[in-house]
A and B are shown apart, each in its own frame.
Chain A
Amino acid sequence: MPINYYIFLAVALFCIGVAGVLTRRNAIIIFMCIELMLNAVNLLLVAFSKMHYHALSATAPHAGIDGQLFVFFIMVVAAAEVSVGLAVIVMMYRNTHSIDVNFLNRLKH
């Protein structure tokens, strides 16, 4: 499959993520959109990794392997981020009885 398809899919996912973050007020959905963006990047990394492996494996046996490694890092970071983020959301709900991010500007005062 040509790499373009992966790229378009990844861009589409990313844009959906961005749009979601910008427009939604529900913290959980914003969170999911962030995950979507991260995964769009993961997809892209895996796709390029595969592409490089096919093209260069004859001369370099480990070609593209760093892309795969990055994906694991991102997944680990994302997992950690989710746990922290969900905890924040829980605390936010306890304090405001809402998970609407617009209420967060109360920190200003």
Chain B
Amino acid sequence: MSIQSIWLVPALPLIGFLINGLFRNSLSKSLTGIIGSGTILLSFVVSLLIFGQVRQPGFQGEVVTLFDFITVGKLSIPFAFQVDQLSTLFLLIITGVGFLIHLYSTSYMHEEAAPHFARYFAYLNLFVFSMLLLVLGANFIILFIGWEGVGLCSYLLIGYWFKNLDYGNAAKKAFIMNRIGDLGFLIAIFLMIRQFGSVEFGEVFAHASSAKVGVLTAITMLLFVGATGKSAQIPLYTWLPDAMAGPTPVSALIHAATMVTAGIYMIARSHVLYDLTPVTQSVVAVIGLLTALLAATIALKQNDIKKVLAYSTVSQLGYMFLGLGVGAYTGAVFHVMTHAFFKALLFLGAGSVIHAMGGEQDMRRMGGLRKWMPVTNLTFLVGCVAIAGIPPFSGFFSKDEILAAAYAKNPVYYGVGLFTALLTAFYMFRLYATTFSGGFRGTQDQEHHLHESPSAITIPLIVLAILATVAGFLGIPEAIAPDAHVLGKYLAPVIGGEAHGGVEVSKGTELGLMALAAVLALVVSVWAWVRFKSRPDLAEPTGFGKVLANKWYVDELYNAVIVKPLDLLAQLLVFIEKNIIDGIVNGVGRLVQYGSRQLRLLQSGQVGGYVLLMVVGILVLFLVELFVKK
């Protein structure tokens, strides 16, 4: 398979989207499922073949130009794909995890009517297509097309059950918040065109060092604004928890494993620009750290199983931005990969639980589920251990790499990061213990209904659990085994060798930090497990817990500061529109109608009357001619 056939990778999901979308009324459910998952599987196979070439040592990135997309004046934007180590890695994550989630969906969504089932798969395929476009684009415009495409699909899938008004509102919220970020991204692209006369990665990065730092800072900050929207960072993160309105596999694919990591991909891709602007780097690091901490504190007190996972996603994304901010691009991408595995696993596990509970999402009414769902229980536990950062599971290695780089940059980053990691371990094991341990707290009906999910659900869980366990070994830090960082070496041609942000900490310190993080995470996990196993957190929170349960009242704050004034403005504009502008338009119409009704009376059919009017008219013209001064 030559590199040129890279176009197949996004084309296959597009075909799947077209078939499922256009023939959704005539296709049977099983055929829809086969087309939807099959195209992604084929795409994954093609990606694997291409990966086989890209991973050869000495492979330099290649740009595959398909056709000329836009040519205006001196600006030429080809429709081109960037095939290199970074984009291929993302291809594998997207199509691989994407396929598992498609497979899972065939069972999870089975109760939907056939046209809606096909609509779901069409959206899902369109999403995969857009996401592939996003990571493959060889310039910022193609990236932006994919960027918008995934935003659209996210909107469509959050609002998949559009008859529920709340879900529709959640979809709108996600879309609008993304639009705010997208505006920043778009302005950054315009600035780039002005500064470099090109949007192609190669050109922009080659000329970046000759640009003024001020302009570069503006560009990178605006790109970061785009990233905060898509990747749910402060201040635009509130859409992600609401996005849990969508079906659970959607949350797993879009709002955990792939779409929300688009911002990380974009910044890792343009790391050349960020390396030149230390100010933006600090902003990225601080925002990432704050988001990680804030979301982790909120997750402590959530009772909806998906909400906990949603806030944990926001928190982990914050980690990745911390990694980007401190220059650990490899670490951030590494964490994207491991996070894709364990978070998709956790979401799919949660989906399996919700499925068994007949749609119940409140974990206060669960408990003791491990008796009924052994596979889900075990895989979910693997996911929890991985995200909590307990060695040798994958989360430990990726998190550790980011934390080590943070320590090298600034020990305060490290301290806050470690604290957040402990919070993560705590709320994940609170979630695990409340859901799977202890006694069942739901109704008799639910207890009767409990069952392990079918194999289309458990197989993806098992595969993801294995990946979440072993993926960490791709990035064994130098301190443990020299030259064992496979991922770092693989990504080196794109991201450069500075896996630890340039500043090295001594081997002893790194090992010490690692041991500290691992031991603390283990202690906190066990403590949380033991604590919530016997005494689940059922009471209504009070005091500070209430603030956390209400998400720091950020939604309320946004409502009061932004939404309410905008609503008032909109009401004023509606008033102006209805009364003044519509009044003018309708008034003109009514005047013409009235006038013509009166004038119509003149057409009496009496010829004499017409002639008289004509004569009067001629006389008037005469008088005007004679007496009006020119």
Tell me if A102 and B615 are in contact (CB < 8 A).
no
B 320-364 to A, binary, CB cutoff 8 A, 1 in contact else 0: 000000000000000000000000000000000000000000000
**B165 at the A/B interface (Cβ < 8 Å)?**
no
Size band of the interface chain B makes with A: under 10
A18-B615, A22-B612 given as contacts; is B605 within 8 A of A101 (CB)?
Answer: no
Tell me if B615 and A22 are in contact (CB < 8 A).
yes
List chain B residues, Cβ under 8 A from A107.
605
**A96 at the A/B interface (Cβ < 8 Å)?**
no
**B561 at the A/B interface (Cβ < 8 Å)?**
no
**B595 at the A/B interface (Cβ < 8 Å)?**
no
Interchain CA distance A108-B607 in the complex, whole Å:
11
Tell me if A101 and B607 are in contact (CB < 8 A).
yes
Tell me if A22 and B608 are in contact (CB < 8 A).
yes
- B window 578-630: CB within 8 A of A: 603-608, 611-612, 615
Tell me if B606 and A102 are in contact (CB < 8 A).
yes
In this complex, what residue of A is CB-closest to B615?
Answer: A18
List chain B residues, Cβ under 8 A from A101.
607-608
Q: Name A105's contact: one of B606, B611, B612, B615 (CB within 8 Å).
A: B606
**A21 at the A/B interface (Cβ < 8 Å)?**
yes
In this complex, what residue of B is CB-closest to A109?
Answer: B605
Q: Name A104's contact: one of B605, B611, B612 (CB within 8 Å).
A: B605
Q: How far is the CB of B620 from chain A (nearest CB, A)?
A: 14
In this complex, what residue of B is CB-closest to A33?
Answer: B611
List chain B residues, Cβ under 8 A from A18.
615
Q: How far is the CB of B33 from chain A (nearest CB, A)?
A: 70
Q: Dominant SS at the A interface?
A: helix
List chain B residues, Cβ under 8 A from A25.
608
Q: How far is the CB of B611 from chain A (nearest CB, A)?
A: 5
In this complex, what residue of A is CB-closest to B604?
Answer: A105
Q: How far is the CB of B417 from chain A (nearest CB, A)?
A: 91
In this complex, how many residues of chain A approach chain B with their Cβ under 8 Å: the count is: 11
Interchain CA distance A102-B615 in the complex, whole Å:
18
In this complex, what residue of A is CB-closest to B607?
Answer: A101
List chain A residues, Cβ under 8 A from B611.
21-22
Q: Name A102's contact: one of B603, B608, B612 (CB within 8 Å).
A: B608
- A window 1-39: CB within 8 A of B: 18, 21-22, 25
Interchain CA distance A21-B612 in the complex, whole Å:
9
B 297-337 to A, binary, CB cutoff 8 A, 1 in contact else 0: 00000000000000000000000000000000000000000
Interchain CA distance A101-B610 in the complex, whole Å:
12
B 40-84 to A, binary, CB cutoff 8 A, 1 in contact else 0: 000000000000000000000000000000000000000000000
List chain A residues, Cβ under 8 A from B606.
102, 105
Q: How far is the CB of A64 from chain B (nearest CB, A)?
A: 24
List chain B residues, Cβ under 8 A from A106.
605
Interchain CA distance A101-B604 in the complex, whole Å:
13
Q: How far is the CB of B273 from chain A (nearest CB, A)?
A: 79
Tell me if A104 and B615 are in contact (CB < 8 A).
no
- A window 52-109: CB within 8 A of B: 101-102, 104-108
List chain B residues, Cβ under 8 A from A21.
608, 611
Interchain CA distance A21-B609 in the complex, whole Å:
10
List chain B residues, Cβ under 8 A from A102.
606-608
List chain B residues, Cβ under 8 A from A108.
603-605
Q: How far is the CB of B604 from chain A (nearest CB, A)?
A: 7
List chain A residues, Cβ under 8 A from B605.
104-108
In this complex, what residue of A is CB-closest to B612?
Answer: A22
List chain A residues, Cβ under 8 A from B615.
18, 22
Q: How far is the CB of A29 from chain B (nearest CB, A)?
A: 12
Q: How far is the CB of A22 from chain B (nearest CB, A)?
A: 6
In this complex, what residue of A is CB-closest to B619?
Answer: A18
Q: How far is the CB of A69 from chain B (nearest CB, A)?
A: 24
In this complex, what residue of B is CB-closest to A34?
Answer: B611
Interchain CA distance A108-B603 in the complex, whole Å:
9
Interchain CA distance A79-B606 in the complex, whole Å:
26
- 16 A-B Cβ contacts within 8 A? A18-B615, A21-B611, A22-B611, A22-B612, A101-B607, A101-B608, A102-B606, A102-B607, A102-B608, A104-B605, A105-B604, A105-B605, A105-B606, A108-B603, A108-B604, A108-B605
- Beyond contacts A22-B615, A105-B606: 6 other A-B pairs, Cβ-Cβ < 8 A, are A22-B612, A101-B608, A102-B608, A106-B605, A107-B605, A108-B603
4 interchain residue pairs of minimum CB distance: A105-B605, A108-B605, A101-B607, A21-B611
